[in-house]
Amino acid sequence: MGQVTRLLLGLSLLTSSVGWAAPPPPLTPLSTEESNAWRSVRTDPPPRMLTRNSHYVISDERRHDLYRSAIDNSGGVFVGVGTNQNYEMIAWARSEVAVLLDFDQMVVDLHAVYRVAFLNASTPKEFVRMWHPKEMRNTTALIQATVTDSAKQKGALKAFRYARKLVYRKLNSTIRRDKKKGSVSFLTDPEQYNYLVALFKADRVFAVRGDLTATQTMRDLAKVMKRFNRPLRTLYISNCEQYFSFADDYRKNIAVQHTDERSLILRTRPWRRRIKGEAEQMGPIQYTFMTQDFPTMRAWMRNKKTKKLYDMIQRHRVPTKLVRLTRLPKIPNSL
C-alpha angle 335-235-283 in degrees, rounded to nearest 5: 85
Provide the 3-class DSSP secondary structure of residue 204: coil
Q: Kindly state whether residue 95 falls inside one of the protein's structural domains.
A: yes
297-318 pLDDT tens trace: 999 999 998 999 988 887 677 7
DSSP 257-279: ----TT-EEEEEEEE-PBPTT-S
Quick one: average pLDDT of 87-104?
97
Residue 122's CB is within 10 A of a number of other CB atoms, namely 11
Query: How many Å apart are CA 272 and CA 120, to the nearest integer?
Result: 40
Residue 76 domain-assigned (yes or no): yes
Asked if residue 57 lies in contact with residue 166, where contact means CB atoms within 8 angstroms, the answer is yes
Domain presence at residue 44? no
- Count of CB atoms within 10 A of residue 180's CB? 8
Pairing of strands 77-81, 232-238: parallel
pLDDT of 9 over the 50 cut: no
pLDDT tops 90 at residue 328: no
pLDDT band at 11 (very low <50, low <70, confident <90, very high): very low
Indicate whether this model's pTM tops 0.75.
yes
Please tell me which residue, 269 or 258, carries the higher pLDDT value: 258
In a domain, 23, yes or no: no
What is the per-residue pLDDT for 52?
A: 67
How many beta carbons lie within 10 A of that of residue 59, not counting itself?
20
Residue 157 included in any domain: yes
Q: Total domain count for the chain?
A: 1
Over residues 232-252, the mean pLDDT reads: 96
CA angle centred on 74, ends 271 and 72, rounded to 5°: 60
For residues 331 and 335, give the distance between their C-alpha atoms in angstroms, rounded to a whole number.
7
Is 16 contained in some domain?
Answer: no
- One-letter amino acid for residue 292 of the chain: Q
Q: Residue 120: inside a domain, yes or no?
A: yes
Q: d(Cα 157, Cα 162) in Å, to the nearest integer?
A: 9
286 — pLDDT class (breaks 50, 70, 90) = confident
pLDDT in tens, 170-190: 999 999 999 999 999 999 999
Domain contains 196: yes
Question: Domain span at residue 214?
Answer: 57-327
Mean pLDDT of the region 130-134: 98
Contact criterion met (CB below 8 Å) for 186 and 178: no
Pairing of strands 286-293, 318-319: unpaired
Q: Mean pLDDT across the chain, nearest whole number?
A: 89
DSSP state of 46: P
Residue 232 β-bridge partners:
77
Checking phi first, is residue 16 left (phi over 0); if not, alpha (psi -120 to 50) or beta?
Answer: alpha
Where does the pLDDT of residue 236 fall: very low under 50, low under 70, confident under 90, or very high at 90 and above? very high
Question: Which pLDDT score is estimated for 49?
Answer: 74
DSSP 43: P
Read off the pLDDT of residues 66-90 as tens digits, 9 standing for 90 and up: 999 999 999 999 999 999 999 999 9
